[in-house]
């Protein structure tokens, strides 16, 4: 069983950049932290999927980097992943507990798609078998993907959820970062240097 965890980086990943911080530095810090979430998982192959050029240095040697268009739908991204099961995680969740990625994979034992919903709509991460079920393709990018996917699924138990999490989509979302939570070291250091949060 080959499990792949892909971190998806788009230009919008820097949406929460606070005033006085370089947007590129912020994007790189957040993306590297998100990559570290999946790279540290056992029995999972990390992949970086990005529409932002020049991020190869953020990942471990040998990590596959897949370049996509800024508006590439998730179904198209899924089609480019190689394995038996995959998680696609938004890079603007640098403090996502790795346990939630594990839960997404575990739910695939009984469902065809599993979702970690995002506060404020959308998803933080989704998991599915590869190739991805055709019925799921158009529901992945919906504002409420759980409802959309369940409406399209051929059976009631085809779509599972795990506890939700937050994404950094606007500067106000930075307040959701918990200094007591392990991880997100690069984002933490960058914000600390800007005088925006304690280490």
* Residue 199 belongs to a domain: no
Domain that holds residue 144: 3-193
Structure tokens at 55: 């991020």
* Residue 118 belongs to a domain: yes
The pLDDT tens digits for 24-81 are 999 999 999 999 999 999 999 999 999 999 999 999 999 999 999 999 999 999 999 9
The per-residue DSSP string of 127-170 comes to EEESSPPGGGGGGTTSSSHHHHHHHH-SSTTSEEE---B----S
* Residue 198 belongs to a domain: no
CA distances from 108 to 147, 151, 159 (A): 18, 18, 9
DSSP 124: E
DSSP H/E element including 123: strand 123-129
Given a cut of 60, whether residue 199 has pLDDT beyond it is no
* Residue 101 belongs to a domain: yes
Alpha helices (H) in the chain, listed in sequence order: 23-39, 74-78, 98-107, 145-152, 185-193
* Residue 89 belongs to a domain: yes
Higher-confidence residue of 194 and 152: namely 152
Query: For the domain that residue 17 is a member of, what is the CATH number?
Result: 3.90.550.10
Least confident range from 27-31, 154-158, 194-198: namely: 194-198
pLDDT grade for 194, boundaries at 50, 70 and 90:
confident
Domain count, the chain: 1
For residue 114, list its beta bridge partners. 127, 160
- Report, as an integer, the average pLDDT of 167-171: 96
For residue 87, list its beta bridge partners. 5, 127
* Residue 94 belongs to a domain: yes
Higher-confidence residue of 121 and 195: namely 121
* Residue 15 belongs to a domain: yes
Q: What pLDDT does residue 79 have?
A: 96
Given a cut of 70, whether residue 197 has pLDDT beyond it is no
* Residue 27 belongs to a domain: yes
Side-chain-facing half-sphere of 196: CA atoms under 13 Å: 22
- Report, as an integer, the average pLDDT of 158-175: 96
pTM of the model: 0.95
């Amino acid at each position: 069983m080959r499990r792949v965890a892909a971190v998806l980086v788009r230009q919008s990943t820097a949406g929460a950049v606070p005033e006085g911080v370089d947007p590129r530095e912020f994007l790189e810090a957040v993306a590297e932290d998100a990559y570290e979430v999946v790279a540290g998982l056992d029995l999972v192959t990390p992949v970086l999927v990005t529409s932002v050029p020049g991020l190869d240095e953020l990942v471990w040697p040998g990590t596959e980097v897949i370049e996509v268009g800024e508006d590439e739908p998730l179904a198209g991204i899924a089609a480019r992943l190689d394995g038996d099961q995959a998680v696609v995680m938004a890079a603007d969740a640098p403090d996502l507990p790795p346990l939630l990625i594990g839960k997404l994979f575990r739910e695939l034992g009984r469902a065809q798609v599993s979702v970690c919903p995002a506060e404020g709509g959308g998803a933080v991460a989704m998991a599915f078998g590869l190739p991805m079920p055709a019925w799921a393709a158009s529901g992945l990018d919906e504002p409420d993907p759980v409802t959309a996917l369940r409406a399209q699924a051929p059976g009631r138990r085809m779509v599972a959820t795990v506890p939700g999490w937050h994404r950094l989509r606007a500067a106000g979302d930075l307040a959701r970062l918990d200094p007591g939570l392990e991880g997100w070291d690069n984002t933490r250091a960058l914000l600390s240097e800007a005088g925006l949060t304690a280490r």
